[in-house]
Amino acid sequence: MDFNQNYFEIFGLPVTFKLDLDGLSRRYRELQKELHPDNYASSTEHEKRLSMQWSSLVNAANETLKSPQARAIYMLELKGVDIDHNPVLPPAFLMEQIELREELESLEDDPAGLDKLDTFKVRVKDVMSGLERQFEAVVNEDDEKALTAVYEMQFMTKLMASAHHLEEKLLDY
């Protein structure tokens, strides 16, 4: 157990945006099986504590790497690139966000809102896929473009969360 490993190293993966998520999931289950408390029942308190700390680290690493947005942010952090919490984004992108928010809000009172919401979510997923491809293409060459892609991913992720929330509301969950 090396607590100095980065999240990719913990899972034996290369530091790359495009990951084999099934492989990540398999390796996660293997590590969790190794770290299960039953395996440390007769161990010293120190060994039990290390196992618990390692298990927490494996959980955090898995959560980060399985999410494209979190993985992108983590990759930039590994490069020493800081994420700004109030980024300056292109005005055209911000206008598009306002329009998408307004469109989403209009679906709440629309009799065909659920059907339109499905189409809306597909469009948001398509934009996210494009941003992920954009990030992957520039992450090793242009930190500014990679940062912009991450910031835009954050907006789209929040928009998708709002769409899911509206869906639950429309379905009376």
Residue 165, SS3 per DSSP:
helix
Q: Quote the pLDDT of residue 129.
A: 96
* Domains parsed from the chain with CATH numbers: 7-66 (1.10.287.110), 91-170 (1.20.1280.20)
The overall pTM is greater than 0.75: yes
Distance CA 77, CA 31 (A): 24
CB-based contact 51:40 (threshold 8 Å): yes
Q: Quote the pLDDT of residue 37.
A: 76
- Listed as ranges, residues in the chain with pLDDT below 70 are 1
DSSP 88-132: ---HHHHHHHHHHHHHHHHGGG-TTHHHHHHHHHHHHHHHHHHHH
Q: Quote the pLDDT of residue 1.
A: 66
